[in-house]
């Protein structure tokens, strides 16, 4: 069975579970569990370990931050600032993880020169794409939250009052975010079968 078929089948299963549950805590816990599973079974592969460790660190930071440090609801903090903090932190988290993942090979070769067998993988480019798309989703949520809650800054005209009904991104946020996370989990699981790109099959141009 090809890596593409495995990834697609896994993605469909995880996406259905995530979207059906609509439970952020469950999704975060599931991602962390997948990471530990890959680390346990692929501990001998530096590429799988480095990629999975990065996603695990991101997921743990996300889980701890939004469960114990950053409130998702507040009776005192205006929504324009609360939403800006929540979506802003998520944007920075996903975007920085994406950048580090794209630079993974260079960073490991530079700071861990004793480590060998560092190579690009089938999964990391697609995982980076999912992280980038999630970061863009958070950026759109940040912008929409600011526009929708401009009334909190004291703008009370009819125009700004009408903007409070702006929920274009918000209405589709969950299904997009859950689908992207399911894709990341499926790609992590795919590394149980294939990790490094087989460069021996590349043909030099004449």
- CB neighbours (10 Å) of residue 150? 19
Q: What is the pLDDT of residue 78?
A: 86
Q: What is the pLDDT of residue 20?
A: 65
Contacts of 26 (CB under 8 A, 6+ apart): 18
Q: Is 181:17 a contact under the CB 8 Å cutoff?
A: no
State if pTM tops 0.75: yes
Which residues of the chain are modeled with pLDDT < 70?
A: 1-9, 12, 16, 19-22, 155-163, 198-206
Q: Which residues pair with 196 in a beta bridge?
A: 121
3-state SS, residue 196: strand
What DSSP character marks residue 113? Answer: T
Q: What is the pLDDT of residue 4?
A: 60
Q: Is 37:55 a contact under the CB 8 Å cutoff?
A: no
Residues constituting the chain: 206
* Distance, CA of 107 to CA of 86 (rounded, Å): 29
Q: What is the pLDDT of residue 1?
A: 45
Interhelix angle 168-190/46-64, nearest 10 degrees:
150
| Chain segment 178-204, per-residue pLDDT in tens | 889 988 988 888 888 877 775 554 444
Q: Is 187:38 a contact under the CB 8 Å cutoff?
A: no
Burial-class residue 111 by CB neighbours within 10 Å (0-12, 13-18, 19+).
exposed
Q: Which residue, 178, 191, 190, is CA-closest to 28? A: 178
3-state SS, residue 121: strand
């Amino acid at each position: 069975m090809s890596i593409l078929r495995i990834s697609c089948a896994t993605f469909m299963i995880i996406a259905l579970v995530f979207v059906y549950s609509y439970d952020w805590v469950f999704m975060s816990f599931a991602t962390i569990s997948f990471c530990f599973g890959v680390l346990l079974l692929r501990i001998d592969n530096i590429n799988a370990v480095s990629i999975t460790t990065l996603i695990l660190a991101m997921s743990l930071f996300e889980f701890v931050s939004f469960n114990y440090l950053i409130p998702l609801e507040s009776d005192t903090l205006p929504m324009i600032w609360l939403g800006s903090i929540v979506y802003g932190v998520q944007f920075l988290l996903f975007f920085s993880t994406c950048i580090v993942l794209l630079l993974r090979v260079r960073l490991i070769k530079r700071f861990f020169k004793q480590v060998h067998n560092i190579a690009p993988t089938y999964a990391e480019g697609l995982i980076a794409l999912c992280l980038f798309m999630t970061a863009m989703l958070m950026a759109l949520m940040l912008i929409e939250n600011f526009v929708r809650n401009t009334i909190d800054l004291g703008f009370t005209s009819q125009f700004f009052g009408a903007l409070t009904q702006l929920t274009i991104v918000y209405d589709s946020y969950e299904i997009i975010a859950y689908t992207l996370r399911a894709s990341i989990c499926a790609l992590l699981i795919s590394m149980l079968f294939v990790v490094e790109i087989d460069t021996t099959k590349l043909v030099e141009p004449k």
